Structure 1
Amino acid sequence: MDLSCTSDGTSERRLYIGNIDQRISEATLIRLFSPYGKIESEDFLWHTRGPKRGEPRGFAFIQYSTKEEARLAKEKMHGRIACGRPLVVRLACEKLLVEAAVDSSKSTGEANKSAFSGNTSRQLSRTAKVAAIKNKLKALEEDDSSISKKQKQQQ
């Protein structure tokens, strides 16, 4: 798997679009992205098996004819609200880099996390995790103090 964005011409023209609401169709997605350039191809992904078979998977890929068009679309559409959800738009090769970093950080701890700290959804989930850990520690401390109080009362 080549993780560089410059390995061929198509990687800089292909966008990953994520966080797509279930109500957005392929035609709507094309309509949303066509003002920024000529779309050469579009891959709208569907569940192929299981209980969600036939339903959209929530992400797609769009390839433009030039890298300038792709960058413009990324700039204009990233974070834009569509059916109440902010779209996540990246160069497809950036998506691979983020996934590789997440996989790597799962196996090696904190490695590579700082390189992707600009990702808002990742920041929110990290913040939520930190808050959950703090709440758990607080609850444990309260349990410890109540246990020690009971032990003192029994003595």
Structure 2
Amino acid sequence: MTPLPSTTETNGVSDENCESRLYIGNLDQRVTECQLIKMFSPFGNIVSEDFLWHTRGPRRGEPRGYAFIQYSCKEDAVKAKETMNGRPAFGRPLVVRLASEKLVLFDSTKAVSGVPGDSKHPTSSSSSGKEVSRSSVIMAIKNKLRSLEDEKKNKKPRQTL
């Protein structure tokens, strides 16, 4: 499917369309485009869907594990997000959010995964009021790398017999 034309486009995607576009992640490799459309069509009129595939390398032709679905209105997208986020598909919980939502991927002291629902690594969305500057994100990454290097140095080498 192809997206509808828009009057106010920025980088090929209009602000209006971003509000009704969903990111669907953590897709099992067995989920097909047809199944994805069937799962999300009860929530409203789907205008377009982008199911992403590996285009190069040894995994060429395999699904990338995420897709985007565009609804005709924001209300349908919000309803689908609220209903489908966390719902299992082939044994894996779906990650569903508005494509325009940004996740804070780092807390102030260490890097976290950015995968919603990952209990080991909490994340928070920008809607919660937490914003992290780019420099603090870079600092968090550097600190994490430094701590990993220190751990590696402090490990005792194996003695071979």
In proportion to residue count, which structure has more strand? 2
Contact 2:95 2:116 in 1 (8 A): no
Q: 1:89 matched to which residue of 2?
A: 96
SS at structure 2 position matched to 1:76: helix
Aligned match of 1:110 in 77, 99, 108?
108
Contact 2:24 2:68 in 1 (8 A): yes
Q: 2:117 matched to which residue of 1?
A: 120
* Distance in 1 between residues matched to 2:97 and 2:33, nearest whole Å: 18
SS at structure 1 position matched to 2:15: coil
Q: 1:61 matched to which residue of 2?
A: 68
SS at structure 1 position matched to 2:108: coil
Alignment of 1:139-150 (within 5 A): none
Alignment of 1:17-28 (within 5 A): 17-28=24-35
Equivalent AA in structure 2 for residue 64 of structure 1: Y
Q: 2:17 matched to which residue of 1?
A: 10
Q: Which has the larger radius of gyration?
A: 1
TM-score by length of 2: 0.62
Deviation at 1:33, TM superposition (A): 0.2
Deviation at 1:119, TM superposition (A): 3.2
Moved over 6 A (4+): none
Identity level (%): 57
Deviation at 1:74, TM superposition (A): 0.2
For residues 109-139 of structure 1, the C-alpha deviation after alignment (integer angstroms, 9 at most, x for no partner) is 728x8xxx99322x4236xxxxxx9xxx9xx
Distance 1:63 1:110, change over 3 A: same
For residues 85-119 of structure 1, the C-alpha deviation after alignment (integer angstroms, 9 at most, x for no partner) is 0000000011xx22xx33xx4xxx728x8xxx993
1:44 equivalent in alignment to 2:51: yes
Equivalent AA in structure 1 for residue 43 of structure 2: Y
Where in structure 1 are there 5+ consecutive unaligned residues?
A: 127-132, 144-155
For residues 2-59 of structure 1, the C-alpha deviation after alignment (integer angstroms, 9 at most, x for no partner) is 9xxxx72111100000000000000000000000000000000000000100000000
Q: How many residues align?
A: 114
* Distance in 1 between residues matched to 2:59 and 2:91, nearest whole Å: 22
Equivalent AA in structure 2 for residue 30 of structure 1: I
Contact 2:28 2:65 in 1 (8 A): yes
* Distance in 2 between residues matched to 1:44 and 1:92, nearest whole Å: 14
